[in-house]
């Protein structure tokens, strides 16, 4: 019999963000009840649990940020804020009966494939053991926060915040605040901080492409209409179609590229009067190489009298502020690092040992890769959701999560129907898939700047180059020849 610290499950899902919840819902709806969702945070939501900085909003229209099978007619605005998305997730988990399956506040630290038993043996940080036939890792690429590699960072005497680990208790009102970073997170948190801080300095290493945000409040009529399934479907499809058109703007010479350039240029000229500031905000890399920023409030915030944009490289962090490469100092009370996530190595901090004890880190020594971002050769019965090369710079991740979940369920069903012990992607199928993917990425817009899409060796490990529809068509039904079943004598 299992000890209180030992449990057995048909499926263990790691992470209670959008992809973990989607997996749980589809398991439950498919009649599979023997599963747990293990989440290190004390609440569900994944990145939406972590993202609590002021101004945090989804950066695609909310109708495209609800599952196709669970529309939300109650969005208060087109670009819903983080708290509203977290409420959607919470309500969904409750409605779909997922709450009893959640193991919150538990961190999985190790997974070992036991070939003899054909199961994963998992260990938590607190020392509990879980056995599972299937392991689904749904931690996504945007999980561990990345702090800037600046000398003296730990010596800063005041509060130091990261955009992905916000602490509301830190007062901003009347303080001198420094923000390092100018990506999607910074563009959202700078405007509300600028309204509160006595003085705000934004430290920019690279200027990014900013486009107008077509935001608006949803009124009672919108919500009434959104309760009509045909209308809700139409709106969702409409936005997905618009976002795919934006993607066309990443192709050299496409008219959409011209339109996006004009919109970005127009916004900068309309919102930034000071020519020196405008010049400093002009991006120096091709549009689309990093995720686009949609904001109507970022540039006006930078133009406020209490806000300064400083583009001089930071030399060091000192106890009372930042020292720049030209010797100037910025005294600060609060330091905000909007410096993104450690994305080069998915599942960092979680030691995964597959067939023959092979460590996933060794399999990924040249950069993370998987078959369609989902399965890794040598790691049977393991699936990743939002794994390598499934991120996009233009659309909703949910469009990638849903078909990947169907792929996982189909693999499980095939294995169990065949009476096999396990399923594993063929190394040659995975290699061919990745060779084709990398060939498409050579010379693409994403190869022309550094970004979180790339590993240290330059390989583009996070981004999918095609449309969401292409990804869905490729993965929804796994190709039989891509996988091999481990039979009873394995």
Residues binding ligand NAP (CB under 6 A):
57-59, 142, 148-150, 163, 180-186, 188, 203, 205-206, 291, 314, 338-341, 452
Pick the closer one to ligand NAP by CB: 181 or 478.
181
CB of 205 to ligand NAP, least distance (A): 3
Pick the closer one to ligand NAP by CB: 104 or 207.
207
**Cα separation of 71 and 230, whole Å?**
11
CB of 327 to ligand NAP, least distance (A): 17
Residues 6 or more apart whose CB falls under 8 angstroms from that of 170 comprise: 159, 161, 334
Pick the closer one to ligand NAP by CB: 137 or 186.
186
Q: What is the DSSP letter of 164?
A: T
Pick the closer one to ligand NAP by CB: 232 or 293.
293
Pick the closer one to ligand NAP by CB: 23 or 186.
186
Pick the closer one to ligand NAP by CB: 5 or 205.
205
Rg for the chain, CA atoms, rounded: 23
CB of 394 to ligand NAP, least distance (A): 10
**Cα separation of 182 and 203, whole Å?**
8
CB of 117 to ligand NAP, least distance (A): 39
Burial profile 320-350: b = 16 or more Cβ within 10 angstroms, e = fewer: ebbbbeeeeebebbbbbbbbbbbbbbbbeeb
CB of 424 to ligand NAP, least distance (A): 31
Pick the closer one to ligand NAP by CB: 72 or 415.
72
Give the burial class of 107: count Cβ atoms within 10 A of its Cβ; 0-12 exposed, 13-18 middle, 19 or more buried.
middle
CA–CA distances in Å: residue 482 to residues 53, 353, 485, 486, 490: 43, 22, 10, 13, 19
CB of 118 to ligand NAP, least distance (A): 37
CA–CA distances in Å: residue 154 to residues 84, 108, 316: 34, 27, 11
- CB of 128 within 8 A of CB of 7? yes
Q: In 332-401, which ranges are E strands?
A: 334-337, 351-353, 382-384
CA–CA distances in Å: residue 372 to residues 65, 145, 470: 22, 25, 11
CB of 266 to ligand NAP, least distance (A): 23
Pick the closer one to ligand NAP by CB: 346 or 378.
346
CB of 165 to ligand NAP, least distance (A): 11
CB neighbours (10 Å) of residue 258?
A: 11
């Amino acid at each position: 019999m299992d000890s209180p610290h030992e449990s057995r499950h048909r499926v263990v899902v790691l992470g209670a963000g959008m992809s973990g919840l989607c997996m749980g819902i589809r398991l439950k709806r498919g009649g599979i009840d023997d599963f747990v969702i293990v989440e290190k945070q004390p609440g569900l939501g994944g990145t939406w649990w972590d993202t609590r900085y002021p101004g945090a909003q989804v950066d695609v229209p909310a109708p495209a940020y609800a599952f196709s099978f669970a529309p939300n007619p109650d969005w208060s605005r087109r670009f819903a804020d983080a708290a509203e998305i977290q409420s959607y997730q919470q309500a969904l988990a409750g409605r779909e009966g997922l709450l009893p399956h959640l193991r919150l506040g538990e961190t999985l630290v190790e997974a070992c494939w036991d070939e003899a038993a054909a199961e994963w043996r998992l260990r938590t940080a607190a020392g509990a053991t879980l056995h599972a036939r299937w392991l689904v890792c749904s931690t996504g690429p945007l999980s561990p926060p990345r702090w800037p590699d600046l000398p003296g960072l730990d010596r800063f005497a005041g509060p130091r915040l990261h955009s992905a680990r916000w602490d509301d208790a830190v007062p901003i009102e009347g303080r001198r605040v420094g923000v390092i970073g100018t990506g999607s997170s910074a563009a959202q948190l700078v405007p509300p901080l600028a309204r509160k801080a006595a003085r705000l300095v934004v430290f920019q290493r690279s200027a990014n492409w900013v486009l107008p945000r077509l935001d608006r409040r949803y009124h009672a009529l919108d919500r009434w209409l959104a309760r009509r399934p045909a209308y809700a479907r139409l709106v969702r499809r409409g936005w997905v179609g618009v976002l795919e058109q934006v993607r066309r703007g990443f192709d050299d010479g496409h008219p959409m590229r011209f339109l996006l350039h004009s919109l970005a240029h127009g916004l900068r000229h309309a919102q930034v009067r000071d020519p020196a500031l405008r010049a400093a905000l002009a991006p120096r890399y091709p549009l689309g190489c990093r995720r686009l920023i949609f904001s109507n409030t970022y540039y006006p915030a930078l133009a406020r009298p209490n806000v300064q944009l400083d583009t001089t490289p930071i030399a060091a962090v000192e106890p009372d502020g930042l020292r720049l490469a030209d010797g100037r100092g910025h005294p600060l009370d609060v330091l905000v690092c909007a410096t993104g996530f450690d994305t080069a190595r998915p599942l960092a901090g979680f030691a995964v040992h597959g067939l023959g004890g092979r460590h996933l880190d060794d399999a990924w020594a040249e950069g993370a890769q998987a078959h369609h971002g989902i399965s890794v050769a040598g790691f049977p019965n393991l699936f990743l959701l939002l794994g390598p090369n499934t991120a996009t710079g233009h659309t909703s991740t949910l469009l990638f999560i849903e078909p990947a979940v169907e792929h996982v369920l189909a693999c499980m069903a095939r294995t169990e129907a065949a009476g096999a012990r396990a399923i594993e992607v063929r190394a040659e199928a995975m290699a061919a898939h990745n060779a084709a993917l990398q060939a498409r990425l050579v010379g693409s817009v994403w190869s022309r700047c550094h970004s979180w899409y790339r590993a240290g060796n330059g390989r583009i490990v996070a981004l999918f180059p095609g449309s969401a529809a292409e990804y869905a068509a490729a993965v929804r039904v796994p190709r039989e020849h891509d996988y091999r079943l481990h039979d009873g004598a394995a």
